[in-house]
Amino acid sequence: MSFAYHAYEAVHMMVSPVRGVSDAMHLAFKNPANPLTYTPFGRTVAASCELFERMTRRYGKPAFGLDETTMNGVKVAVEERVVWERPFCKLVYFDRKIPSSRRKPQPKVLLVAPMSGHYATLLRGTVEAFLPGHEVYITDWVDARLVPLSEGRFDLDDYIDYVIGMLQMLGPDTHVMAICQPSVPVIAAVARMEAESDPCAPRSMTLMGGPIDTRRSPTAVNQLAMERGTDWFRRNCITVVPFPSLGAFRQVYPGFMQLSGFMAMNIDRHVTAHYDMFKHLVSGDGDSAEKHRDFYDEYLAVMDLTAEFYLQTVDTVFVQHALPKGEMMHRDKPVDLTAIRRVALMTVEGENDDISGVGQTKAAHDLCVNIPADKRVHYLQPKVGHYGVFNGSRFRAEIQPRISDFMVSLDMEAAKDRRDDSAKEQRKALKVVG
């Protein structure tokens, strides 16, 4: 077991005095009363201090900050409410304050956020895009370092249980969306619900940039897992949360380690971005510097994952390929994707995705053989990477409208079926009376 967490905490504590000096210098050279503030030298010192502070800071969980949305040209207030809660997850509902007289039926969407090191707020743009025309719920996963040992374990099986529990609470007219990592547990949850003839199975599932079959177009992430194997990750990536955190002594895969891996994949891009921010600060380009702050405030905020969840996911998804081989189990029962018959399926991939390669998500169509052809959609978005699959301008303009149309058409079909069934019942009743 690695003691990287203790080393990380020790370094953070040792740097604290230097951070204090740097903060004081930053304030001094940003003070309007200081003549040097307005000189190139003063701006350079202030910019250097801010970059040092940001590079050595521990970033806390960001807020969604979605206080309003626009519906039919009218601004509507939005309130976040927790409607379901377990030790490792809260289900957040974005309640749009619409008068009951103006409410119209709209698709109910459960966004299953990735539990892969970042907070659910990484999907802020995804939520924002769906809010005007959908009832939106999102899984807000809890940082494992904040969950006491007394709350027990949390592994991939528990994740599937959580998804099933949320779908049962929301009801059968729900559309579930899995973004990246949750694609596997979500499709597994749907398969288990269908196998048990659960009436609360969702109306549709949308899988976006997910590792359904990582043998297809393997990326550097996939190849690393295959080459190293699960035991290597157990020896080198698992550590213990240090005291006095609430989750002290819990074994975790720390978020800072995941973040280091992600940044190492594109280190040149991150170095250039920080250098550009430095130049923006020196030149007084506040707008560009603020865009950098907004992005990295989110990107550098990370959470820990329980060791058992991380290792089981690595082994099941990336090493054993248990799902596409038909060997995945949930508890003591098989995850049989051929059991899925009623739930519609949409898959979305990005042409330049370097995390989940092209074809890995689309593989779900080959595995869910009993879903009718008219309830299947696949879309490949050109010119986007992994992040662009669920956020950004192309997501808003090209991907989100397609997903929304898919959900709306299914809701309309279900409403028509209900009307037809009602008409049949009425005709039967009239025949009996006659």
Compute the chain's Rg from CA coordinates. 24
pLDDT tens digit at each of 434 positions of the chain: 557 787 777 777 788 888 888 888 888 888 888 888 888 888 898 888 888 887 777 778 899 999 999 998 889 999 999 999 999 999 999 999 987 767 788 999 999 999 988 899 999 999 999 999 999 999 999 999 999 999 999 999 999 999 999 999 999 999 999 999 999 999 999 999 999 999 999 999 999 999 999 999 999 888 888 889 999 999 988 999 988 889 999 999 998 887 777 677 667 877 787 777 777 778 887 788 788 777 778 878 899 999 999 999 999 999 999 999 999 999 999 999 999 999 999 999 999 998 999 999 999 999 999 999 999 999 999 999 998 999 999 999 999 999 999 999 999 998 887 787 777 777 776 666 65
* 296 shares a domain with 310: no
Q: How many CB atoms within 10 Å of residue 263? A: 14
Give the domain-ending residue among 273, 303, 333: 303
pTM of the model: 0.89
Is there a domain that residue 97 lies in?
yes
- For residue 51, what are the domain limits? 4-58+255-303
* 352 shares a domain with 329: yes
| Element containing residue 393 per DSSP (H, E) | helix 393-394
Is there a domain that residue 378 lies in?
yes
* 410 shares a domain with 269: no
State the CATH number of the domain containing residue 86: 3.40.50.1820
Is there a domain that residue 348 lies in?
yes
Instruction: Name the DSSP class of 431.
Output: H
3-class secondary-structure state, position 77: strand
* 110 shares a domain with 132: yes
Is there a domain that residue 250 lies in?
no
* 52 shares a domain with 19: yes
* 182 shares a domain with 81: yes
- Total count of domains within the chain: 2
* 408 shares a domain with 335: yes
* 100 shares a domain with 79: yes
Distance CA 14, CA 16 (A): 6
* 209 shares a domain with 106: yes
Give the domain-ending residue among 303, 318, 335: 303
